Structure 1
């Protein structure tokens, strides 16, 4: 009996190898996806693409596959990537998300990004969508201008030619703005940055996407072990979800208590803040000139609608659900803004011709460096708009693969059933139900058929040369291929706020300061690395 047991044990490795080989042969030659081009090792195991995820190279790796194999590639046994505008319309109009997004749960609850079913997301979106309309965001300009003023004042106090970490600065600026927009709360992250103090919420917000990527790449038991490693920095990363949850829960409870006490609490009449960076005197600004509440209070202003008040009034969200939703919005709107704006300035340090054109337009629209033009004025600035579009094309902060699942015939959505009765026809390849499929902005934005000289930063490509129909078609093709905030019905709800912040901060900086690259900031250090969001290579070991 003992001898037989030893023989069985010694045969186990052989059996495992045989099983792997048999499975690999099936995946390569008989699996429904076997006809889709791609490297053979990607077809037999997910380990290959996972290693590129952990090395922060997924975007570039998939893009290289497109260059080699064409617009449809198999990147894992059950995962297919594509680069095609027409196909993206089918996939991103009604398909549900993959389980990957569950690694980004906040406070162990769903939010808009992690709600997989399309129908459930539509219900959730209705709760927050009115907050991000241009008309409502226009009322929040004083909050954005106040934070911008603090940033400008902070930079003015620095000695000339001071090198600074713009990723950290802009993350704190964006966090202050998002907190003000979400619950009218003055966080003061910019002030903490001024005295070289790390704001714990700012660090947690930056760590959270890294936490999600790591969680998605390792088994649950391995993640639990990682969180027990006695390393302070690693433990902060693991606790980033809890840190955010505690802060935002406190803010939501404050507002909820006030709403329970009195349905509508109107802010007291106050004198507008007089600060160095004054708000514009346009009608939309003057309507909402009262500042945020003090740091130890929150209120719901009758003239403003903060995100928290809309979520708490939704019959589809509990208080815990509102907390998780706001956590998702804070994460989505903070590092992404910081990363894109930092890259915008980096590009301007290399392209003095673009800087000159942009600054000429800004100076004309903003004769007083201390007066922020109304957002309606900024939205009409032709070269600024072209610069923002080109910046988001090349330096969009979320260029990664957006995974969806080919639905089964039992899908509750009849329109999906009609499109995918037997699977998805993806550019001539049949993808069976359950296949994970997706495209990425990184590749869509670098398609030379749509964007000639795709690696060249050229804002002029977004400006019509004439009124011809051909020129209109060219601009339409580029616009339709842009997806820096996602694609289809699951596009980022905070898109309008993000673009508003980028415009205001960019014109404020360029109107008040010269920009130049610090020593050591070069092509190598600014090489874009991909988590769910991108970041420069130099930031990988920093906060």
Structure 2
């Protein structure tokens, strides 16, 4: 039977349906646009046109790695509320921060976090059930407390000394300080978690670990915007293989950590590291803290613990070298305290805490460059919520971007783009600390912030005591990519010995 004969047999109604199908699709598309732009509950919230119609807008910017700068520009243009998706709003209203992230909040983490969690049952960062998160956090909070830092500090000292020795070998040469502080931070995590540095500083190389972590971050940043794609990929992986970097968090990076746990158990340890504390909890509560949960906590240390500290340390060094007057003032504080016998070598955490200009420098660098450059997304609870005078219905995804809130003139002054540590040294700086978002906010604040702060507090004054540093190309700006964490490149320096 030829094609003409087949077409003759088709009923006329079918031809009519085929003829009107394009018109129907066009009408549906126009209707969707009209609804999103004029009748949707978020229609009155300003923002980019395409963001109101599709999640492709936010997915593209997450892929491109420019979300931190993009959101600063959008809030400057539109104000406290910016519509960043068909059902998502970025918020810069200060009053909303406590509502969204404060103690007892009913706002829950959005589905964006599901790709970070995967199939893990114990994972503090992405856990969306507040009850489960609270139970899990109570199991490990002592391990990361300020009291625990006193036990870890001598082993951070060892890593600082190794770092300084390697810098001594590289005097009068151009050193990629951004890379070296990440090697340092990774080795510290190995020391405090497994009682053994990973050896990255000794090898002057990371063995591909940093690329795996960066790949996981980039992958999670964009696919978290459309988590259904992650779960489709997850279901098809046995047939199509793995094509997403985020799976490294659940796969190769976890395998690396499991091997380190086994090696640590074989060799033992003469001091209380993080693994020993987790194992002690496991012994007390074997059901709640089983072997898989111990591995999950250790993997989180490895993945997040090095990057956040390295990013923050890079920022401190970079801004000091870009602002010589600030570097001079910090060096004067270090030299004065050394001459008075008030600083050890390496500097102790208690000593660093008593250095007002050092503390101001650290806060200011992390204000200008917080490690996280994307919104911390939550969903509005049943009954919705009113933010900056706008009602947002239940299920709306809302969030605050640390890069935006850290540039609030109401809190930090008109010179928000300037590196001015002195702003932290005034008596009325309570709001600056209250809205300091570098480690998150509220009940979900970063668990490892104390360890990170200790590393920076010890390394920075010790480094500037021993070495004078200058940027090798002081006229050049560093480069950044925002894939959840805002990674920098271009902190290349020349070192000369001071002491």
Question: In which range does the TM-score fall when normalised by the shorter chain?
Answer: 0.7 to 0.9
Partner of 1:456: 418
Counterpart CA distance in 2 for 1:21 and 1:522 is 48
Deviations 1:128-162 (Å, cap 9, x if unpaired)?
Answer: 2111222211111111011111111111112x332
CA apart distance, 1:321: 1.9
Counterpart CA distance in 2 for 1:385 and 1:392 is 11
Q: Is the 8 A contact 1:103 1:213 kept in 2?
A: no
Q: Choose which of 406, 415, 420 in structure 1 pairs with 2:380.
A: 406
Partner of 2:109: 97
Taking a change above 3 Å as real, the CA distance of residues 251 and 63 of structure 1, as seen in their structure-2 partners, is same
Farther-moved stretch of structure 1 (243-252 vs 123-132): 243-252
Partner of 2:220: 212
Counterpart CA distance in 1 for 2:450 and 2:46 is 38
Counterparts of 1:231-246 in structure 2, within 5 Å, are 239=248, 241-246=250-255
Matched, 1:87 2:87: no
Q: Is the 8 A contact 2:380 2:393 kept in 1?
A: yes
Deviations 1:101-139 (Å, cap 9, x if unpaired)?
Answer: 122237745411110122221111112211122221111
Partner of 2:361: 387
Counterparts of 1:264-303 in structure 2, within 5 Å, are 297-299=267-269, 301=271
User: What is the DSSP-based 3-state SS (H/G/I as helix, E as strand, rest coil) of the residue aligned with 1:317?
Assistant: coil
Partner of 1:436: 397
CA apart distance, 1:300: 6.8
Partner of 1:308: 278
User: What is the DSSP-based 3-state SS (H/G/I as helix, E as strand, rest coil) of the residue aligned with 2:410?
Assistant: coil
CA apart distance, 1:482: 0.7
Deviations 1:507-527 (Å, cap 9, x if unpaired)?
Answer: 12111112111238722xx14
Gaps spanning 5+ residues in structure 2: where?
Answer: 1-8, 492-499
Matched, 1:426 2:387: yes
Q: Choose which of 300, 304, 325 in structure 2 pairs with 1:332.
A: 304
Counterpart CA distance in 2 for 1:87 and 1:203 is 36
Deviations 1:276-329 (Å, cap 9, x if unpaired)?
Answer: xxxxxxxxxxxxxxxxxxxx7243736987453355344423211221222123
Partner of 1:150: 162
Taking a change above 3 Å as real, the CA distance of residues 304 and 359 of structure 1, as seen in their structure-2 partners, is same
Farther-moved stretch of structure 1 (357-366 vs 217-226): 217-226
Partner of 1:282: none
Q: Choose which of 453, 457, 482 in structure 2 pairs with 1:499.
A: 453
Q: Is the 8 A contact 1:204 1:236 kept in 2?
A: yes
Matched, 1:535 2:487: yes
Q: Choose which of 118, 128, 138 in structure 2 pairs with 1:116.
A: 128
Counterpart CA distance in 2 for 1:304 and 1:40 is 48
Taking a change above 3 Å as real, the CA distance of residues 423 and 482 of structure 1, as seen in their structure-2 partners, is same
Aligned positions, number:
471
> TM-score by structure 1 length?
0.79
User: What is the DSSP-based 3-state SS (H/G/I as helix, E as strand, rest coil) of the residue aligned with 2:411?
Assistant: coil
User: What is the DSSP-based 3-state SS (H/G/I as helix, E as strand, rest coil) of the residue aligned with 2:61?
Assistant: helix
Q: Is the 8 A contact 1:181 1:306 kept in 2?
A: no
Q: Is the 8 A contact 1:201 1:243 kept in 2?
A: no
Taking a change above 3 Å as real, the CA distance of residues 483 and 225 of structure 1, as seen in their structure-2 partners, is same
Counterpart CA distance in 2 for 1:303 and 1:230 is 37
Counterparts of 1:154-165 in structure 2, within 5 Å, are 154-158=166-170, 160-165=171-176
User: What is the DSSP-based 3-state SS (H/G/I as helix, E as strand, rest coil) of the residue aligned with 1:519?
Assistant: coil
Counterpart CA distance in 1 for 2:490 and 2:10 is 58
Counterpart CA distance in 1 for 2:166 and 2:240 is 38
Partner of 2:495: none
Partner of 2:191: 180
Partner of 2:4: none
Counterpart CA distance in 1 for 2:407 and 2:238 is 38
Partner of 2:200: 189
Counterpart CA distance in 2 for 1:476 and 1:162 is 42
Partner of 2:337: 365
Counterpart CA distance in 2 for 1:357 and 1:243 is 45
User: What is the DSSP-based 3-state SS (H/G/I as helix, E as strand, rest coil) of the residue aligned with 1:516?
Assistant: strand
Q: Is the 8 A contact 1:400 1:530 kept in 2?
A: yes
Counterpart CA distance in 2 for 1:163 and 1:500 is 27
CA apart distance, 1:479: 1.2
Counterpart CA distance in 2 for 1:321 and 1:405 is 27
Q: Choose which of 37, 41, 60 in structure 1 pairs with 2:46.
A: 37
> TM-score by structure 2 length?
0.86
CA apart distance, 1:18: 2.4
Counterpart CA distance in 1 for 2:169 and 2:241 is 39
Deviations 1:81-119 (Å, cap 9, x if unpaired)?
Answer: 111221110111222100101222377454111101222
Q: Give the CA RMSD over aligned residues.
A: 3.0
User: What is the DSSP-based 3-state SS (H/G/I as helix, E as strand, rest coil) of the residue aligned with 2:481?
Assistant: strand
